[in-house]
Structure 1
Amino acid sequence: MSTRNRTPPLLEPYLRLPSEASQLLLTGVLDSSPQWLVTRLLRSAYTPSEETESPEEQDVSVILVSWLRDWEFWKSEARRGAGIDLARLAQQDKFVFVDGLTHLFPVATSNTAATPSPAAPSPTQRSLPVRNTPASPIPNRGGPLPSRGPVPSRGPPGSAPSQPQVAQPQQPTQPTSQLQSTQPINTTHLRDSSLASTYTTLSKTISDLLAKHPQRKIHLILDSPTLLLSTSASPSASALSSLLLSLRSLVSTTTLILESDTPFLSAALPDPSHLPTPLEAAHAAFVVQQAHISKWVLSLRPLDTGKARDVSGVIRVARGGAWDDDVEEEEEVKGQEKKELEALYFVQNDGGVKVFERGEASVG
């Protein structure tokens, strides 16, 4: 594995697959996206570690559900940042992508709007033809000649009818077929934003994968499920939390990716001067709930002093509400020492990431 694609040493213990029935929470803001953390988590899921006791422990399938990013984004990010081929893993049933972006709100297209209406004939064109009446089969050559207009250019016989036969309606369907050909085999589309429909689609995807590989572990990654709060007429954090708990009961481990921008979390802080909207209150409540039931929380934010040439932001690793002292002591015996930390990170142009503590040199 090249240095560019490797996981930073400081984050290796945290970017391994969580323990059984646990959840990992990744949060980010607009200027500090946690997508590079997800690609390193995918690499650790498919790469055997030194602590792996048997091949069965590393036999895992990842189901990635993304509401804000499409398949092309994740495929390029995984190859560029972690050096893994998601298309090949999808053919092996080790990766399943659930697209919650492209088909959730389809745009209705009308064929009549694309068809140009026939242009009305000009006044000069109406006076050109001289109709023959039944009483006079011979054209009337007397009388004044009609005013002359532009005469269409003459061409060989059959050339004029060939112009309107251009296959214009087939052009919009060509990019669609090309887009479908780029989709992996294991791709499911969410076509309804309701929580009931989302659970039905995802539970069926999980059950179909378990039917093919009963002994394989399943790791579920949910990217920005808070979009479902925005599509609901009455957003409810408890309803979305119930959906996630139901999905967690069907898989082995879970990773959650949420937005923690100040406008989304301001409702969690008492402010008499600002009355939060129902969406703001639901989003803040949901993020706080998930932090309480997660084992570890990895948060990204920009530098407080602004942008820098060699620092992209700050990463903070904190224990979640589901952190257990007894389990952590057992993992430390196996060599997986984990502690809370705050470090700086730098995402390079080639996809490599360097993580270093404050006051130290930037190392990969």
Structure 2
Amino acid sequence: MDSIDTLIIGAGALGLACAARLAQPQHSTLIVEAETLIGSHTSSRNSEVIHAGLYYPPGTLKAELCLEGRERLYAWCEQHRVAHQRIGKLLVAVSDAERGTLEHLLSNAQACGVDDLQPLTQRQLQQLEPAVRGAAALLSPSTGILDSHAFLQSLLFAAEQQGAQLVLQTRVDTLEQHGDGWIATGTSAGEAFQLKAQRVINAGGLFAQQLAQQTSGLAAAQIPPLHLCQGRYFSYSGRSPFQHLIYPLPQANTAGLGIHATLDIGGQLRFGPDVQYLDTLDYQVDEQLREPFAAAIRRYFPDLDASRLTPGYSGIRPKLSGAGEPAADFLLQGPAEHGLPGLINLFGIESPGLTASLAIAERVARVF
């Protein structure tokens, strides 16, 4: 049986960030990915936003790792020449009734350590973004965008430079404790395999719980429920009327941040995501969603031309909280939590997971 030092399961942003952080020439590191491409699910199906860390409860992993990850991510993009831009974000109160919510978000962000938010009057908002309707706004200059695909490739390249290997079309079905390590059993390109690893990182994203349920010694109570939450996007043809990212205020009792306007590195404007809980993976975007999207967007962009909206793509958030439940934090579960040496499970890494990926990898490295 082949034996390696580190097995990383999942080649999304988390798995690749862990590989880039942990790989060393004198230690064997293997990354396995069930799909034919890296980052096939959540890591490549999102807004590609570098989040500033405004929304999360102070003291949570989401709050701490977003701030730390934001700075690590900007530095990484500079060093590895990954296309990115500190484009800035406007968080808009569309009416006077929302001013209190805007002030609460400002206080929350400051409590989390975000110290560069700039309150804007209606006139200042109009000067920055004439097409946006709002009574007041917050400008977040630390919010940015990046080419997520280039980021994933840069992580893989960095890991491979240190000797890590990637194997695609490879699924781990079970993990079993064996002596001082773990035996992973699964299939690779249709062929059964087994290998032994001293340490294992379950960075399976949407499939992390599925593997955890087939991990020997891991109690059922240690495996959080998975809630699939779809977010759909529409593209907006033609030139963008915005210079910044435009976010409405989060709606009460929902699982998202509202249908916002984002730009990609190429300047393409898109709107989304919405929120829809699912029972099974589904990446379809129905054309009939155009009017509900248009109604939400017109709250802050009244001159929207709905005929320019076309179905784009969707992503699935691996949430640990269900519809109507309070948002759950990231769960980084190591031996101190589950009592199993050499194993780390990463559960519920949704937004701001891409922003936090390098910071999460640093936390994983501390455990090992």
TM-score normalised by structure 1 residue count: 0.24
Query: Which protein shows a greater Rg?
Result: 1
TM-score normalised by structure 2 residue count: 0.24
Q: Which has the higher strand share?
A: 2
